[in-house]
Structure 1
Amino acid sequence: MKKVTLLLALSLAGFSSFAQNNDTNGPVGVRSSTDYGTGSTGSRNTGFGIKGGFNLADVYGDDKKNFTNGSNYKSFHAGFYGQYGFNNRISIQPELLYSRQGFEGNSTKTTTTGSSTTTTTVNERRLDYLQLPVLVVFNIFDNISIHAGPQVSLLTKVVEDGKERKIADEGNAYGYSYSSFDYGVAAGAEARIGPARVGARYTAGFAEMIKDQNLASTGNKALSDIKNSIFQVYLGIGLTQ
């Protein structure tokens, strides 16, 4: 985690220095962030584009300790963003993202079929979300900005140890259900060179991921008080400005 953060900091510093040099004496054909055409608001921070990158996902909460041998889940996200600038400093940026995340941590579940009882251990959980963050963006410098805002997410798919399962627990087949809706906050920083952008973001979910737990079938350990925690690094490209 420290290595990823250090790499991001160095990348942002490099992008900032490179963009500033290009603003003053850069070669022909290299565009700085101020080369964007202005929209009806007179701001260069208006347009839309595509983005995608790396997810380092995990969970937090009081019941995280009840999952043993836990570790991060590494995956990806991708989608679209739109940006509307009120001026050269402040803009609003909604996004629509597909985000594959989850976590690793052992828990047991007991399944009873007739007179037969089976106990299994679940380790890896993959959760696919459609995310809608709405961010307020503030330009600290011409090519460096910070952003923060609320985010809502819809859970579309759950895979446990490579096997897809139903999000809702019907008939206590799994011992618990997953919450199909999540909400939280996102915050991060971004650097831009012309239409390209690179950034990082942390998102904390506030909704409990697991609900309707049947303690008798899940080892009598509470598992419900866990929430999404995800660090993202991404690249983006503006399609219009």
Structure 2
Amino acid sequence: MEQYFVDQRIENSQLILDDKEQYRHIITVLRHKVGDELYFVDNTRKLFQAKLVDIQPEKAIFEVVESKLSMTELPVDVTIACSLSKKDKIEWITQKATELGAVKIVFFRSRYSIMNWKNNVVDKKVSRLQEIAKNAAQQSKRRVIPEVSYLSDLDQLNNVSNDLKLVAYEESAKEGETSILAQQLQKVGVNSIIGVFGPEGGFSNEEFQSLVDHGYQSIGLGPRILRAETAPLYLLSVISYNYELRMNEE
């Protein structure tokens, strides 16, 4: 069944959907009829199964019951921070990182970024990416819509408070480093992780050293050199295996 996010708390057995855009999409575009069932996630991250019971000119009324389906979020909060790249790659990263469980997606400008955003277009571009994240979260049955943001300066990542701070560095892969990431993910008490990824041209030496000086651990992502849009998805997949699939086997 389809799933949608509503910006309200569902506190009883009835949901009145009067958001114009959602009403248009569900009733006018998809032509749902009385008796159809959907899922809604409220602003407390609770999932509800809903049955459409009445359609009025500007609102739809649903009977709802809290769902007992399992939580779909990663056991750890993961932030993916990527240097700016071409529009299609940024949109791809946003969509796929959402599907793989990221709770925050950050884009930033670095020395070798092939794209730069002027100040007057930042809000529009972030809004577009936020909509992509919302749609991907609904499609993948997430309980959380990732927050998408933009930083004009890489140094703004220096003082984040994540428990585990990782920076992907292609020189580590070239040197055959394959175990540091696995070692870092075995640490006890990790509730939040940030992974930082440079552009196709990599970080400058000064940028990389600044991140390391502020607590980031340099990691390789296997023996192959990955494209800028592939690397964050690799990390999210490894985190999913480590905290979801592997743990469920034990």
TM-score range normalised by the length of the shorter chain: under 0.3
> Could you state the TM-score of these two structures normalised by the residue count of structure 1?
0.23
Greater radius of gyration (CA): 1
Kindly indicate whether structure 1 or structure 2 has the higher relative contact order, using CA contacts under 8 Å at least 6 residues apart: 1
Higher helix share: 2
Higher strand share: 1
> Could you state the TM-score of these two structures normalised by the residue count of structure 2?
0.22
